[in-house]
Structure 1
Amino acid sequence: MSMTLQTRQVDGITILDLSGRIVLGEGSVQLRDAIKELVSKGQKHILLNLGDVNYIDSSGLGELVSAYTTVKNAGGELKLLNLTKKVHDLLQITKLYTVFDVKDDEATAVSAFSAK
C-alpha cells in the first residue's frame, strides 16, 4: 500500500493528511515534493496529520526530519498530528519526539501556530 496525501487549509495553516506507509521510494519522495512545493508558495505553517500512517521506515523518518528542516530554514513551523501508537513509539525510540512539536488534537495544533 503506497502513501496518499491530501492537502487542505484551516485558518491559514496547511494540513497534509497522510495515509499509508512512508517508506523508501514513492512515499518519501511524495512527501518531500509536497513540502518543497508548499514552502516555495510561501506556506510556512504546515501540519502533518499522521493519523492514517501505519508504518514509517528509516528513510521515511529521514523525510520527516528533512521536511522539518526545510520548513524551519524557510522561517516556518512544521508540527505533527494524530500519531498512531506505532509511529509514536518509533519517535520515542529514536528520540525524535523531542525534535517535533506533536499534537493529538487538530484544533489545538492549529491554534498552536497562531500563538507564535
Structure 2
Amino acid sequence: MDIEVTRSGEITTVAPKGDLDMASADRLKRTLADLIAGGQARLVVDLGAVSYIDSSGMGTLVAAMKYARGAGGDVRLCALQEDVRAIFELTRLSKAMAVHGSRQEALAAWA
C-alpha cells in the first residue's frame, strides 16, 4: 500500500492507495498515529483509491478517530468508493465518523 500525505495549513490529508486490509492496516495505523503524535490531529483520510476494506482497516480508522479526538482534532473521511461506502453504512460507522463526498468538501468542513 502506498500512502500519500499532504498538508494544507493545519489540516493533513492522508490518501492510502490499494486494499485496506490486515496486510496493510498496520502501515496506515502507524502513519496516522505518527501524524497525531506530531501535533497534526486534524486529518482527512481520502479513500478514493481504496476499493476494499476489512475489519482491520475499519478498526485502524476508528482508533485514529479516537486518538485524534483526544488530541483536539478529528478524522474526516472522503471519496469513498461504492463498496467501501456500503460497508461503512452497514456497520453504521458512517454515523460515528464524518464522511464527505470529496476531498474539497472534507477540507471545507474544517473551516
Which residue of the partner structure matches residue 60 of structure 1?
Answer: 57
Q: Which runs of 5+ in 1 are unaligned?
A: none
Q: Which runs of 5+ in 2 are unaligned?
A: none
Which residue of the partner structure matches residue 37 of structure 2?
Answer: 40
Query: How many pairs are equivalent?
Result: 111
User: More strand per residue: 1 or 2?
Assistant: 1
Asked if the contact 1:46/1:79 (under 8 Å) is kept, the reply is yes
Separation (CA, whole Å) in 1 of partners of 2:49 and 2:71: 27
Which residue of the partner structure matches residue 88 of structure 1?
Answer: 85
- Percentage of pairs with the same residue: 29
5 Å matches for 1:1-116? 3-25=1-23, 27-114=24-111
Between 1:80-89 and 1:4-13, the stretch displaced more is 4-13
Separation (CA, whole Å) in 2 of partners of 1:112 and 1:58: 27
Cα deviations across residues 58-108 of structure 1 (Å, max 9, x unaligned)?
111111111111111111111001000000000011111101101112222
Counterpart amino acid of 2:20? I
CA RMSD in angstroms, aligned pairs only:
1.0
Asked if the contact 1:11/1:110 (under 8 Å) is kept, the reply is no
* TM-aligned CA deviation for residue 11 of structure 1: 3.4
Cα deviations across residues 34-70 of structure 1 (Å, max 9, x unaligned)?
1111011101110000000011111111111111111
Separation (CA, whole Å) in 2 of partners of 1:57 and 1:18: 14
TM-score, length of structure 2 as denominator length: 0.94
Counterpart amino acid of 1:69? K
